[in-house]
Structure 1
Amino acid sequence: MKTVYRITLGLLLVLTACDNDLDQVPPNIASADSLEDFSGVLNAAYYYQLGSVTPIAVMGDFRADNAFMFEAPFTEFDEFDADLPVMEDQFFGPFYTALYKSILSANNVIENSNDACDVAEAKFLRALSYFKLVQVFGDVTINLAVRPSPEDTSVLARQPAAEVYNTVIIPDLQDAVAALDTEIVNGRASRWAAQALLGKVYLFTGNFGAAETQLGAVVSGASSAGIELQENFEDIFGEENDLNSEIIFATQVSSSIVDEYGFSEFWSWSGGLDTKSLEPLDPDLIAAFDASPGDLRRAVTIDEAILASPKFPQTNGPEHDWIEIRLADVILMYAEALNENGDTAGALVELNKIRERAGLANSVATTPAEVRQAILDERRLELAFEGQRWFDLVRTGTVDAEMGEAINPNYYLFPVPISEILATDGVVTQNPGY
């Protein structure tokens, strides 16, 4: 049984009722100075991750070659031009707002709490938020304060993605790894979650040596915390399988908790329940499974009869957790790091762990280039509809090859919400191409 972080309306008002995303304390509401227990504030930082779930799920798969839209203007996800900002209200705006609310709540805990574990969890959540923001937008505003100065709007200027990684994401995760417990309690962040995310961050930044160290530690040590691959792929997904042994960290979802995101949720999009894409399954993903005969993941991931994905069953859809990090993902990233560091044989050992569960023979790849492609292909089949495909293509430099067309690199990133640009009088700027 999962535990969802419950927050009273009053506490949410203390934390985040605001005129804009960076205004932390509204007039006539008690400030954080009067709090002694910041566990509720930490719960808010967890809660606001909910608003990022569906947008990143759609961006990760519908922008890529796993799924596509049918109804205009949603078809802009499949068009690489300047018109994508029309999707702001449903995707980019809620995503941006939710993550900065999570960051503000995390800042409050980090600055004011005397509980070292709470602070470490807050740093994990702040790093996770900024990592998502950088993946989607590239350069972003850095705010590490509870109360940003309303007079100094220059602090809102976007900072280079490399600076966000080096001054916020990586240090926060290093601190979280050092302070968090190895035991996963009620699905909250653990040392394994922080270490896995840190390894992923290093992979995204091209630091394969550091990635190998962090990811290898998770692969070799996670079993001590009961983290292991599910024997059957289908047992990872569905409400009844939330927080199973393979899940290292998930954003917990419950119909009893009102989600600020007010549109169709991720299970609806992948399952073809939203009228904007009643048959979202891309034929290219079907072809990828055709090239992997006997793959036990096929029936779990795609349904050719309805041209949609049953991966997140529609029964109890509003109860499905969103998987942020699971062990199979970590193993494949570890394989990638090993291969990039010259240990191709070791990479194949890790890759074949995932293939074995899928009912497949060992990979026939031999050269580093072949293994690199084999890992990318395996990630696609293993993680389809988990919001990862587009970001994998961008970070590996394989967008054109995999998408089958030359795409302007401006459109590797997504448009910054125009509402943020207007609200800051242009201090926050738009990404090139939009």
Structure 2
Amino acid sequence: MKAKRIFLSLLGLLVLASCQDDFLGLSPQTDRNTLNFYKTAADFNNAVVGTYAALKLSGVYNTSLYWMGEVSTDNTDFGVTTRQAVNVDNFQFVDHTYTSLNDIIYASWRDHYIGISRANAILTRIETAGIADNLKMQYKGEAQFLRALFYFDLVRMFGDVPLVTSEITTADGANSLIRTPADAVYQLIISDLQGAEQSLPVSYGTTDAGRVPQGAAKALLGKVYLTRKEWDKAATKLKEVITSGKFQLLPKYADAFSFATPTNAEILFNVQYKSGNTGQGSGFGPVQASEGARITGGSMRYPTADMDAAYEPGDLRKSFSMKSSYIDANGQAINQRYVSKYVQFGALSGDSDIDFPVLRYADVLLMYAEALNEIGFDTEAVKSLNQVRTRAGLAATKATDQNSFRLAIEQERRVEFAFENQRWFDLVRTGRYVTVMNAKGLTVKAFNILYLIPQREISLNKNLVQNPGY
């Protein structure tokens, strides 16, 4: 059942909704949850569906990751010029002067842990569940992948974080947790992904299209190894995805984002949406470029002039990903950049079919090229990079050594994954965030390679210590 449809679930059974106010939301809140649920295959399916649905919470792909992964970089501006109390949190990503009361950062912490709590409930209970072994393996693998993804975001954004691997069943069960060293968090992430790749199916039938396949677990594990600079392990795992033959670059860049074919040979894993006034549609596109007769210029997150200039002449990705002007409701041309990658004309505002990519095959190719280059610059790395450039209508890379190839990869990732929440993570991973931002006149401090711990969490749990510099 396609994730656009599987998100239409009885999420009330999970009760861990985005309206919860703090980390205490990890604990189940009704006897119905603990006594009557998690019994049948249908129960576990609903629980897995609810864990996928956590990806769409405001603190994950719906809002926070865009601010933390894009607006905090040289890719995107806020787009609003008037500073008011209502947008003070937004401007902190422009100024890089974060406060511990920032609601966008708080939502990211909170909602990632909501996703983790849903996965933990499944993993705690599924071993003794009386359901078919094949379903048990699949649901376990899905929960492991999703828990790993949530923790991977958290550890990269915040560093040491509380490591919770089982259900919290008391109201104050989270109030004494300590921050677990990042290495230990990564070990859980790796273990979960290794388990997921053993349990997940290689592919699904039409009715289940959109659920995470084995290849996505391998690709995410490759990204984890790349982040940890375990180059050999990263290259090995990513090559498994490449040689599997299950994924490929589509002929046209735009095809990977087509709402008509949201699951395709290039997408390993998406956050999926379905329009129709059911509450499952995506509002992400209209935030980038509000729709009137066509585009009315209400965009809140503009591509920067630097992003506009980052594309090489003839790069076919640019015209799909962003526009430099729009026609307003009066038919007048307005010279203003906006993100067009997620805009679905004709859809209801805030109710689009456009999915959000988490893992694409282009990412696998570029990560593989990066890992190989760190082992030692070679022709196979160049070949992988050039596959992506060829699809974009560009000539082969001119990089001729390891250092120039590093910069070529950095550039290629920027334009290939523009507005996909990867820029901040990429620059921090390569140790280039502070250097690149400061070189472009953006004031970024060394400690900005981590975000701060929300004050609400520190107030609830005195064991939590703030990240240095904040």
Q: TM-score, normalised by structure 2?
A: 0.83
* 8 Å Cα contact 1:254-1:318 kept in structure 2: yes
- Which of residues 452, 455, 459 in structure 2 aligns to 1:418? 455
Is 1:326 aligned with 2:360? yes
In structure 2, do the counterparts of structure 1 residues 428 and 277 end up closer, same or farther at CA, with 3 Å as the change threshold?
A: farther
Cα deviation for residue 33 of structure 1 reads 6.1
Q: In structure 2, what residue type is equivalent to 1:312?
A: Y
In structure 2, do the counterparts of structure 1 residues 345 and 30 end up closer, same or farther at CA, with 3 Å as the change threshold?
A: closer
Alignment of 1:15-34 (within 5 A): 20-22=22-24, 23-31=26-34, 34=37
- Which of residues 269, 288, 303 in structure 2 aligns to 1:270? 288
Is 1:379 aligned with 2:413? yes
Match of 1:348 in 2: 382
Match of 2:7 in 1: 5
Q: Secondary structure at the match of 2:203?
A: coil
Is 1:241 aligned with 2:261? yes
In structure 2, do the counterparts of structure 1 residues 286 and 18 end up closer, same or farther at CA, with 3 Å as the change threshold?
A: closer
- Which of residues 315, 325, 343 in structure 2 aligns to 1:313? 343
Match of 2:159 in 1: 138
Write out per-residue CA displacement over residues 65-102 of structure 1, whole angstroms, 9 at most, x where no aligned residue.
Answer: 11112343222212133x344531xx222222222111
Alignment of 1:87-166 (within 5 A): 87-88=102-103, 91-113=104-126, 114=129, 115-147=136-168, 150=171, 155-166=176-187
* 8 Å Cα contact 2:178-2:464 kept in structure 1: yes
Is 1:285 aligned with 2:315? no
Alignment of 1:175-214 (within 5 A): 175-184=195-204, 185-214=208-237
Write out per-residue CA displacement over residues 122-141 of structure 1, whole angstroms, 9 at most, x where no aligned residue.
Answer: 00010001011112212111
Q: Secondary structure at the match of 1:431?
A: coil
For 2:33 and 2:454, how far apart are their aligned partners in 1?
A: 30
* 8 Å Cα contact 2:124-2:167 kept in structure 1: yes
Match of 2:330 in 1: none
Q: Secondary structure at the match of 1:209?
A: helix
Is 1:44 aligned with 2:50? yes
Match of 1:64 in 2: 73
- Which of residues 297, 302, 317 in structure 2 aligns to 1:297? 317
Cα deviation for residue 161 of structure 1 reads 1.6
For 1:395 and 1:362, how far apart are their aligned partners in 2?
A: 25
* 8 Å Cα contact 2:27-2:167 kept in structure 1: yes
Match of 1:429 in 2: 465
Cα deviation for residue 395 of structure 1 reads 0.7
Cα deviation for residue 155 of structure 1 reads 4.9
Q: In structure 2, what residue type is equivalent to 1:188?
A: R
For 1:337 and 1:131, how far apart are their aligned partners in 2?
A: 19
Q: In structure 2, what residue type is equivalent to 1:299?
A: S
* 8 Å Cα contact 1:153-1:427 kept in structure 2: no
Q: Once structures 1 and 2 are overlaid, which stretch shifts more, 24-33 or 107-116? A: 24-33
User: What CA RMSD, in Å, does the superposition of the two structures yield over aligned residues?
Assistant: 2.6
In structure 2, do the counterparts of structure 1 residues 287 and 214 end up closer, same or farther at CA, with 3 Å as the change threshold?
A: same
For 1:430 and 1:395, how far apart are their aligned partners in 2?
A: 21
For 1:16 and 1:309, how far apart are their aligned partners in 2?
A: 27
For 1:281 and 1:365, how far apart are their aligned partners in 2?
A: 27
Q: Secondary structure at the match of 2:110?
A: helix
Q: In structure 1, what residue type is equivalent to 2:56?
A: L
For 1:44 and 1:124, how far apart are their aligned partners in 2?
A: 14
Q: Runs of 5+ in structure 2 lacking a partner?
A: 130-135, 326-335
* 8 Å Cα contact 1:17-1:26 kept in structure 2: no
Write out per-residue CA displacement over residues 404-426 of structure 1, whole angstroms, 9 at most, x where no aligned residue.
Answer: 156322112222222222222x2
* 8 Å Cα contact 1:14-1:31 kept in structure 2: no
For 1:282 and 1:174, how far apart are their aligned partners in 2?
A: 39
Q: Once structures 1 and 2 are overlaid, which stretch shifts more, 377-386 or 183-192? A: 183-192
Match of 1:339 in 2: 373
Give the percent of matched residue pairs that are identical in Structure 1 and Structure 2: 33
Q: Once structures 1 and 2 are overlaid, which stretch shifts more, 17-26 or 241-250? A: 17-26
For 2:315 and 2:288, how far apart are their aligned partners in 1?
A: 20
In structure 2, do the counterparts of structure 1 residues 265 and 97 end up closer, same or farther at CA, with 3 Å as the change threshold?
A: farther
Cα deviation for residue 349 of structure 1 reads 0.4
Match of 2:91 in 1: 75
For 1:131 and 1:181, how far apart are their aligned partners in 2?
A: 22
* 8 Å Cα contact 1:13-1:29 kept in structure 2: no
Match of 1:230 in 2: 250
Write out per-residue CA displacement over residues 112-167 of structure 1, whole angstroms, 9 at most, x where no aligned residue.
Answer: 1141211111000100010111122121111111125556657521112221101x
Q: In structure 1, what residue type is equivalent to 2:427?
A: L
Q: In structure 2, what residue type is equivalent to 1:50?
A: K
Cα deviation for residue 428 of structure 1 reads 2.5
Q: In structure 2, what residue type is equivalent to 1:198?
A: L
Q: Once structures 1 and 2 are overlaid, which stretch shifts more, 196-205 or 114-123? A: 114-123
Is 1:250 aligned with 2:263? no
